[in-house]
Amino acid sequence: MAKSIIDIILPDLGEGISGAEVSEVSISVGDQLNKGDTIVVLESDKASMEIPSDLNGTVKEILVKTGQAIEVGHSLIKLETDNAQENKEKTKPRVDETGDKQEPLKQPSPQNTQSDVQLDPSSGDKTFSSPGVRRLARELSIDLSHIKGSGDKGRITKDDLHKHIKLQMASQRGVAQSINQEVDYKEWGSTEEIKLSKIKKITGRRLQEAWQTIPHVTQFDEADITKLDSTRRAMNKELEKKKIKITFLPFLIKAATHVLKSMPEFNSSLNHTGETLIMKHYYNIGIAVDTPRGLVVPVIKDVDSKTIVDLSIELMDISDRAKSNKLKPKELSGGTFTISSLGGIGGKFFTPIINPPEVAILGISKSIWENIYNHETKSSSPKYIMPFSLSYDHRIIDGAAAAKFTSTFSHTIEELSFKEK
């Protein structure tokens, strides 16, 4: 059969793209091409795309090089083919593995503006991969030069990238496991081994996972609760005969809910894809309760519709049942925001760990009386000051929003009237 050598040219790329830069040459002289094999990968300011061959044949000459800017109609390669007739069908940008066209890539940020044809520092060889793999690698800040490709001609596939991610995660787990390596503590003295309760083991795993997977940041602030203390004492005096004791916690729940309504991102959860936020239009507050078996977080539902007295009664009930292990499973789920109070114990500030899938948690410390100077009256007076901490998921909430939350919470505590009618 007669052979002929033809030029494979760059076809119309569509979407108003008249030209692009060659980011990868995927073939070599002498390669046997099958229809659909990638010749080059192009990058433009609008898209990343693979240009395939529409013919079977042998590569006789490569007419482009990496980094070269080419336009529609430019010859890419010379191909020797058994098909003597000219190819009337223009080559088109390849669709990805899902059958969809490659979507335009966003312009990379300055820290990611590296060539997509990366060099292996040890060998100087080019690292080949599809636009989809490179896009994912950029999003995850993964250097493809550290991955050995298993595809044709050493091409890095999605499976290669996924395996690399799993190895990195396993390596991190290995570091954590190495901390817990077996040690014979009896070498230095007498010891006793106590078995952890089931709750402590479950809580420990959840806290470790939350700490390792959520980028925590903690904001610290204080609130003047002098007025609130007077209100609480007056209410307790009125309710003395009903044997209802009101602590600060119901007021803090109310104040937190007031702020959550004005700053709904703190009452949200990150979708499992990591690409959207679930905005919740209900307010269920988890309260950390210390029990003999370990920490549990029962949830008070629809706190915005309950009074201070309602919350006080419910708090006493769930606290007692938590300590006697009588809580129902549904009472431990559905929270949108958590409060952990150490006010009855001590300490000034601490870093509470977020309770997933929530995005923030409020930590309350022990209130103390301080002599506060007033610049307006140029005098000092005793104030009851409550320190508190807000830990938040930095993927969702930035520092400015967190500072606004703490200042608004402080102002709400100081100014909002909680007096029951």
Distance of CA 49 to the CA centre of its chain: 29
Is the same domain home to 213 and 343? yes
Residues 259 and 341 in one domain: yes
Instruction: Examine the domain organization and report whether 221 and 326 are in the same domain.
Output: yes
CATH (domain of 235): 3.30.559.10
Q: Nearest to residue 338, comparing CAs of 212, 226, 206, 140?
A: 206
Does residue 131 come out as left (phi exceeding 0), alpha (psi in the -120 to 50 range) or beta? alpha
* pLDDT tens-digit readout, 225-274: 999 999 999 999 999 888 889 999 999 999 999 999 999 999 999 998 88
Residues 67 and 149 in one domain: yes
Could you give the residue ranges of the DSSP H alpha helices within 193-307?
198-213, 226-238, 249-262
Query: Which of residues 98, 133, 158 is at a domain's end?
Result: 158
Q: How many CB atoms lie within 10 A of CB 56?
A: 15
Give the lowest-confidence range in 175-189, 315-329, 388-402: 175-189
Residue 72: count of CB within 10 angstroms of its CB: 15
Same domain, 236 and 143: no
Residues 402, 211: Cα–Cα separation, whole Å? 18
pLDDT tens figures, 171-204 = 555 555 556 678 899 999 999 999 888 788 888 8
Task: Reply yes or no on whether 411 is catalytic.
Answer: no
What is the model's pLDDT at position 102? 45
Please determine, for residue 285, whether its predicted confidence score (pLDDT) is greater than 80. yes
Give domain status of residue 354, yes or no: yes
Q: Are residues 76 and 209 both part of a single domain? A: no
* CA R_g for the chain: 32
pLDDT of residue 419: 60
In-domain check, residue 79:
yes
* pLDDT given at position 101: 44
Averaged confidence pLDDT in the chain: 83
Q: What is the mean pLDDT of residues 83-102?
A: 44
Report the percent of the chain where pLDDT is more than 70: 82
**Which of 162-171, 318-327, 365-374, 375-384 has the lowest average pLDDT?**
162-171
Tell whether the model's pLDDT for residue 93 goes beyond 90: no
From the list 183, 167, 178, 176, the residue with the least C-alpha distance to 207 is 176
- Does residue 121 fall inside a structural domain? yes
The predicted pLDDT at position 279 comes to 97
More confident residue, 84 or 258: 258
Cβ-contact 370, 362 below 8 angstroms:
no
The per-residue pLDDT for range 94-127, each reduced to its tens digit, is 444 434 444 443 443 433 333 344 433 333 445 6
Same domain, 140 and 270: no
Residues 228 and 80 in one domain: no
Q: Are residues 127 and 220 in the same domain?
A: no
Domain presence at residue 329: yes
Number of domains the chain is built from:
2
CATH assignment of the domain containing 20:
2.40.50.100
Residue 421 lies in a domain: no
- Average pLDDT over every residue of 279-307: 94
* Tokens 């959860």 -> residue: 269
Q: Pick the catalytic residue: 74, 216, 258, 394? A: 394
CB–CB of 389/379 below 8 Å? no
Q: What is the band of 19 on the pLDDT scale with cuts at 50, 70, 90?
A: confident
Task: Flag whether pLDDT at 85 surpasses 80.
Answer: no
176 belongs to a structural domain:
no
Kindly report whether the peptide bond that precedes residue 357 is cis, defined as omega within 30 degrees of 0. yes
Mean pLDDT of 40-47: 68
Residues 399, 251: one domain? Answer: yes
Query: Could you tell me the residue range of the domain that residue 32 belongs to?
Result: 4-106+115-158
In a domain? residue 420: no
350 and 226 in one domain?
A: yes
Last residue of a domain, one of 158, 188, 222: 158
Domain's final residue, options 126, 158, 190: 158
In a domain, 180, yes or no: no
For residues 269 and 151, membership in a common domain is answered with no
For residues 299 and 322, give the distance between their C-alpha atoms in angstroms, rounded to a whole number: 11
